[in-house]
Homo-oligomer: A and B are copies of this chain.
Amino acid sequence: MSDLFDRHRPMLNDAVRALYARGYWTPFAEIPSEKLYGEGVKTRADADFAAQRNMGFDLPGHPESHRQGAEVSPFGPALGVVYPAADATVLIAAAKAAAPALATASVEARAGVCLEILTRLNRMSFLLGHATMHTTGQAFAMAFQAGGPHAQDRGLEAVAVAWEEMKRFPARAIWEKPQGKAAPLVIEKHWTLVPAGVALAIGCNTFPTWNSYPGIFASLATGNPVIVKPHPAAILPLALTVRIAREVLVEAGLPPDAILLAVDAPGAEITKDLATDPAVRIIDYTGSAAFGAWLRDNARQAQIFTEEAGVNSVVIAATDDFAGMCANLAFSLSLYSGQMCTAPQNIFVPEAGIDTDQGHMSFDAVAVGIVAAVDALLADPGRAAGVLGAIANPATLDRLTRMRETGRVLREATPGGEGRTVSPLILAVKAGNPAAEGECFGPVAFVVAAADADAGIADAARLATRRGAITAALYDTDEARIARAVAAFAVAGVNLSVNLTGNIFVNQSAAFSDFHVTGANPAGNASLTDPAFVAARFRRVMWRRPVAA
């Protein structure tokens, strides 16, 4: 078992250094290139994905009472993959049976297993890209990155944080208390790290691996067996993950049921049964605020780590690069059709307009500039398809139709391309418009008329505090106002990007550097990956005895 650890120790050391430096670092290449991933890997992944279609999914030794699976690609075809499925009680029992061996494995053994799993997942990033594309609707390039190397980065980050927490204090210490002229009291103390219990990782439809890997790997590294419960529409990426993980566990002499797949059908989810089982002590959840609240109300035996919903805002106060700003925002609004938890929704613009490098521009001129940039970005159908991808959930399209009535249409949503595809709807609204006061998931943006820039900042911060927000962006040239915005968004618990105009976007969150979600507003109670995300997944239990004189 320590072979795996020894093999991957340099990567772990680098990851730990990266955690504390918080600069750019990754061991996993983000470009889907055969130069980086090996000759022939693309062709093999295409063949592997095709072979998996309309087939049973093989998960050797996994509990199975029946088969389940009804995934349909947002790009059109049903995947036709059926997975082994079992009741919640069966899965819980299997996880509990695997728990003692995982708990008593050394920290090094568990870390080695996690690092080997991530390394193997990295090698199959092309296949994970296909699986992610055809469950989430992300275009391939994004599906490869978000479903593959970027998700692996977040998994590795969680392993590194867990490692640091577990190795933080010595496993043994001598406590020697002076007794004046008498011999000192000498006690030897030993600490055992005890995992919290069974962990449940509840995945989402849009980022099945990226959002689930931190919880899965944090739990596994700290010794908690994990039941992975994918969204019924996005099973395949996590099923591939679980299969690899089980293979590595077996090779390491650990029980494969230390990680399990909980497949269910839409409308007949077993999530509530799993979440309320007394053995489940950790829940990682990405999804709606409504189900997040249900978990808090009902799964009180568990620690719950969530990413929920929010209203991300942009405030445009001024810019010295109007074209760059518009192009940057156009990409952020269009990428994956606004289905990222980090995508902006509300763009606050002073009703009197703003100063720019192109002179003063009215509210309408700013709006026109943004719309024109979106149109330009999406003018080429091939590029549009590569940026927009497809809509994961049909309900998102229905919402668009309703939303269209809530403001002045600046840009119509237009269908096009393969599958469930649509370009962004952009509306102009007044401050306080109810539609813009809640999350409108998907390709909808509101350009909101604010009394002035400070009012826009205040409104955006208020929304973040009340409704949650994961990102905020500001365009401004006034350092004093930038400082006020920094303070306001800090209090609102939202990460702020200032004056992004080039090839870096507010949507992007980089492992080892950006803490994703702060935990300080309703968008989520956890941060990927800070020490709080890991610290209580295990406990330190001591035994001590006097040392003979």
User: Per-residue CB proximity of A304-335 to B under 8 Å, as 1/0?
Assistant: 00000000000000000000000000000000
A38 interface residue, CB < 8 Å from B? Answer: no
> Are the CB atoms of B536 and A519 closer together than 8 Å?
yes
The verdict on A518 contacting chain B, using a C-beta distance below 8 Å, is yes
State in angstroms the CA–CA spacing of A527 and B490 once bound together: 29
List 7 A-B pairs, minimum CB-CB distance, nearest first.
A532-B535, A498-B545, A520-B539, A22-B173, A532-B536, A496-B543, A192-B490
A503 CB → nearest B CB, Å: 6
- Mark out the residues of chain A between 164 and 197 whose CB falls within 8 Å of any chain B CB in the assembled complex: 165, 168-170, 173-179, 185, 187, 189-192, 194, 196
Residues of B within 8 A of A175 (CB): 22-24, 510, 513
- Chain A 208-231, CB within 8 Å of chain B: the 1/0 string? 000000000000000000000000
Q: Which of B173, B493, B496 contacts A513 (CB 8 A)?
A: B173
Query: In the complex, A337→B474 CA distance in Å?
Result: 63
> In the complex the two chains form, is A498's CB within 8 Å of B23's CB?
no
**Within the complex, what minimum Cβ distance (angstroms) separates A15 from chain B?**
14
**Which residues on the B side are within 8 Å of A189 (C-beta)?**
22, 513-514
A499 proximal to B (CB < 8 A) = yes
Query: Taking the nearest CB of chain B, how far is it from the CB of A319, in angstroms?
Result: 13
Contact at A173–B21, with CB atoms within 8 Å? yes
**A535 and B531: CB pair below 8 A?**
yes
- Interface contact B173-A23, CB-CB below 8 Å: yes
A519 to chain B, nearest CB (A): 5
Q: Decide if A70 is an interface residue (CB 8 Å cutoff).
A: no
The answer to whether A170 and B22 have CB atoms under 8 Å apart is yes
Selected contact of A515 from candidates B187, B503, B540, CB within 8 Å: B540
Does A90 belong to the interface (CB within 8 Å)? no
Q: Is A362 an interface residue when CB atoms closer than 8 A count as contact?
A: no
Question: Provided the pairs A169-B20, A177-B24 are in contact, do residues A540 and B527 lie with their beta carbons within 8 angstroms?
Answer: yes
